[in-house]
Structure formats: structure tokens, C-alpha cells
């Protein structure tokens, strides 16, 4: 399973890219807005210089035509740009039209398997089921990944990839891999948490203490 970073923060992307683990980046309007005053196109350009992989840029139009217009603009910024559209019927229209022009899409805000099936049928390159937000409703978000994975694997015509999104903690990453996700898109904080273990720290301390005390 590949790891993407779910952020528009350039320092976080630079740091995670230096670990050699990043295969792509996802952004959304909230994440872009968090980088106060940053110009959308410039942010995507800076990310493309740091990460050689898909970078999702999200349209804000609600109608299919508007999404296609935005999508064509984003796709012209860099060949790695993936146009993110919401999982609505207008979003499906945009996916269908953009796919015909060879432009890859990420259908976001997926909360059930039928949305994922229809998005794949329309020609989505990736779908983004929101595991953490499903968990927040008291339903097992990971079951959504299992269902989509089973449906896609059983249909040889579907090439759409599954990004496990709305990741909240390290266990979500592991469970996403076990449930059949192709990618997990993670906040930087969760990647940092994934690499921490008190026994690793204690082991390093002990090794250093023994090294210093050697005869």
C-alpha cells in the first residue's frame, strides 16, 4: 500500500519526502485555506517539485461543467495533477468528461460502496472513502474499504484505485492496508506517530549507555 501525505503544508511535505516514503499528496479546499494567503497554483507547483507522484487538487464548483473547466485548468499546471471532485451526480459527469480527455480524477467524500462503484464506472482514477468521518458516526469506517476492495477486485473492468482518506491514527493506516486499500493518505502528525515507539527510544538509550560504559 502506498503512502500519500494529506496536507498543503510545504514544510511537512518536504520533511516527509526526505524520509523516502511518499508516493503522492492530496489537498482539499480546507487544507489549502489553512496555508494562509498561499496561491493555489503556486502551492501545487511547489508540491510537484518535492514529490514525483499524483497530487490531488480539488474543484470547488458544484456543477459538472464548472468542475470540468476547473479540472482542465488544474491539469494544465502539471502532468501529476489529479482533479478532485465531490461524489455527486454532477461530479460523475465531470469524471466522465475529464476521463474522455485523458485527465485523471479523484472522487472524494465517498461514504458508501455504491458511490464508489458508480464513480469507478464513470471513469474515476481514484476514489477517496473517508474512514475517520465514517467512524465518527459510530459505524466501522474500515468496513467501507473492505466492501469497495471486494467489489473492485471482482470486476476486471475496474482499474480505479482506493485511497483510504480521513486517517486519524496509525492503526487506521495498518487496517487500511489489511482491508485492501491501494493508498492511505495521512496527516503528517499521524505519520510521525506511526514511527514512534517507547521501546525503540529505550533501546537506543540502552545501546548508547552501554557504548559509553564499554571498557
**Which member of 14, 78, 133, 146 binds ligand E4P (CB under 6 A)?**
133
Residue 108 engages ligand E4P in binding (rule: CB under 6 A) = yes
CB of 28 or CB of 149, closer to ligand E4P: 28
Q: Does 160 sit near ligand E4P (CB under 6 A)?
A: no
Measured CA distances, 82 to 58, 163, 193, 201 (Å):
8, 13, 28, 39
CA distance 76 to 123: 20
Smallest distance, ligand E4P to C-beta of residue 189, A: 11
Among 35-43, 70-78, 112-120, 126-134, the segment contacting ligand E4P (CB under 6 A): 126-134
The SS3 call for residue 102 is coil
Of residues 199, 163, 193, 198, the one with CA closest to residue 181? 163
Residues 6+ apart with CB under 8 A from 42: none
Query: How far are the Cα atoms of 109, 133, 157 from residue 123, in angstroms, in the given order?
Result: 16, 25, 10
Please indicate whether residue 84 is annotated as part of the active site: yes
Of residues 5, 130, 145, 175, which one binds ligand E4P by CB under 6 A? Answer: 130
Alpha helical stretches, state H, the chain: 10-18, 29-34, 40-50, 64-77, 89-100, 113-122, 131-136, 141-153, 170-179, 188-194, 198-212
Contacts with ligand E4P, 36-75, as mask; x by CB under 6 A? ----------------------------------------
Of 69, 84, 159, 212, which is the active-site residue?
Answer: 84
Instruction: Count other C-beta atoms under 10 Å from residue 181's C-beta.
Output: 27
> Of the two residues 30 and 156, which places its CB atom closer to ligand E4P in the complex?
30
Interface pick for ligand E4P out of 132, 135, 169, 188 (rule CB under 6 A) = 132
Q: Write down the least CB distance from residue 122 to ligand E4P, Å.
A: 18
DSSP state string for 150-167: HHHHT-TT---EEEEBS-
Please, what is the minimum distance in Å from the beta carbon of residue 211 to ligand E4P? 42
- 147 near ligand E4P (CB under 6 A): no
The residues that are catalytic are 84
Contact residues for ligand E4P, defined by CB under 6 A: 6, 26, 28, 108, 128, 130, 132-133, 165-166, 185
Amino acid at each position: 500500500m502506498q503512502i500519500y501525505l494529506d496536507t498543503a503544508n510545504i514544510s511537512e511535505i518536504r520533511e516527509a519526502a526526505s524520509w523516502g516514503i511518499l508516493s503522492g499528496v492530496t489537498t482539499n479546499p480546507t487544507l489549502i485555506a489553512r496555508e494562509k494567503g498561499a496561491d493555489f497554483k503556486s502551492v501545487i507547483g511547489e508540491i510537484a517539485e518535492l514529490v514525483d507522484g499524483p497530487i490531488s487538487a480539488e474543484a470547488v464548483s458544484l456543477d459538472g461543467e464548472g468542475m470540468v473547466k476547473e479540472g482542465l485548468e488544474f491539469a494544465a499546471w502539471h502532468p501529476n495533477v489529479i482533479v478532485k471532485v465531490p461524489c455527486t451526480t454532477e461530479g460523475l459527469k465531470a469524471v466522465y468528461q475529464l476521463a474522455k480527455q485523458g485527465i485523471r480524477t479523484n472522487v472524494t467524500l465517498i461514504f458508501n460502496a455504491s458511490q464508489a462503484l458508480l464513480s469507478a464506472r464513470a471513469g474515476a482514477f481514484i476514489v477517496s472513502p473517508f474512514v475517520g468521518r465514517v467512524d465518527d458516526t459510530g459505524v466501522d469506517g474500515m468496513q467501507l474499504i473492505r466492501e469497495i476492495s471486494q467489489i473492485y477486485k471482482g470486476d476486471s473492468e475496474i482499474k480505479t484505485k482506493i485511497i483510504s482518506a480521513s486517517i486519524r491514527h496509525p492503526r487506521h493506516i495498518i487496517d487500511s492496508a489489511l482491508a485492501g486499500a491501494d493508498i492511505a493518505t495521512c496527516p503528517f502528525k499521524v505519520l510521525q506517530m506511526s514511527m514512534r515507539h517507547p521501546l525503540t527510544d529505550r533501546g537506543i538509550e540502552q545501546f548508547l549507555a552501554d557504548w559509553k560504559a564499554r571498557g
